[in-house]
């Protein structure tokens, strides 16, 4: 199956990044949001990052304009009916995703591939909300989606080979480095990274280490390109806590549970870069 037209449901941080990847790769893309205001905000984010690329010489103005010209905005899911691939990037709430997929299943063509960008929820539980779970896969992009090359292409128990192969092939055509994996808690990266980051946060208090020292230790001693505290700030404390809770709920391992320091930061609204303050001030 060749994918020519792409839909993206949700144009927040991840959705806007995924839509940018799609239009920059030459695909006509329909971006869906629940209001025109949120849709325009997502489009403005894409335009801002494309313009930054022009300023830095990574693309020319004509390429930016052509990419933006491939983006269409809508508030109606029915406008995604003729898409070959629809990638969902709504909030990380299982029932919301299930409702979205049930409606997409009803509106899109029987051969369309429906993909969820979830980072921690079960693809199978999302797919079970549809009449055709064989065409549902996971496509987990990493933030920022236009920059980080990895896409985890996730096979749920009832995903068809055709759907998985089509999603994988599209990710390659979009310039990404996809990897296949089964639908397990945390997939590949988060299954390893989340408990490791939680360990780093616990060491801050147990060993009396400052965030700057922790990041210095891990970048210089372990070769990490970005320290754990700076990475959690980039991810968002709330996003990390949610993923930790989801993994802990599925696996029950103590290392998966979010440290108290992070849940306290979340309660205080110190969510990292998005709020201007987390472990660091921005």
> Active-site residue numbers?
119, 140, 152, 190
* Vertex 108: Cα angle to 105 and 112 (nearest 5): 95
Q: Are 107 and 130 in contact (CB under 8 A)?
A: no
In whole angstroms, what is the distance from residue 165 CA to residue 263 CA? Answer: 39
Per the rule left: phi > 0, alpha: psi between -120 and 50, beta: everything else, 256 is alpha
Give the chain's length.
282
CA nearest 196: which of 233, 229, 152? 229
How many alpha carbons lie under 13 Å from residue 12 in its C-beta half-sphere?
11
Reply yes or no: is the peptide bond before residue 144 cis, omega within 30 of 0.
yes
């Amino acid at each position: 199956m060749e994918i020519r037209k792409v839909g993206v449901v949700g144009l927040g941080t991840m959705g806007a990044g995924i839509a940018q990847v799609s239009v920059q790769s030459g695909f006509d893309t329909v971006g869906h949001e629940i209001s025109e205001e949120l849709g325009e905000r997502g489009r403005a984010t894409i335009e801002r990052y494309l313009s930054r690329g022009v300023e830095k010489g990574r693309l020319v103005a004509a390429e930016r304009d052509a990419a933006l010209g491939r983006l269409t905005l809508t508030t109606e899911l029915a406008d995604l009916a003729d898409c070959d691939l629809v990638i969902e990037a709504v909030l990380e709430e299982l029932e919301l995703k299930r409702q979205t997929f049930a409606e997409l299943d009803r509106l899109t063509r029987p051969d369309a591939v429906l993909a969820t960008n979830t980072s921690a929820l079960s693809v199978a539980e999302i797919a079970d909300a549809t009449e055709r779970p064989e065409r549902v896969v996971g496509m987990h992009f990493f933030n920022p989606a236009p920059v980080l090359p990895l896409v985890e292409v996730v096979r749920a128990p009832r995903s068809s080979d055709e759907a998985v192969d089509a999603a994988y092939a599209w990710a390659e055509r979009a310039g990404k480095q996809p990897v296949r994996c089964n639908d397990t808690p945390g997939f590949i990266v988060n299954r390893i990274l989340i408990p490791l980051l939680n360990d780093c946060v616990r060491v801050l208090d147990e060993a009396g280490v400052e965030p700057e020292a922790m990041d210095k230790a891990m970048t210089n001693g372990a070769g990490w390109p970005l320290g754990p505290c700076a990475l959690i700030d980039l991810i968002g404390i709330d996003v990390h806590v949610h993923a930790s809770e989801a993994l802990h709920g599925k696996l029950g391992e103590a290392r998966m549970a979010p440290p108290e320091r992070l849940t306290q930061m979340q309660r205080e609204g110190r969510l990292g870069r998005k709020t201007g303050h987390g472990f660091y001030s921005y």
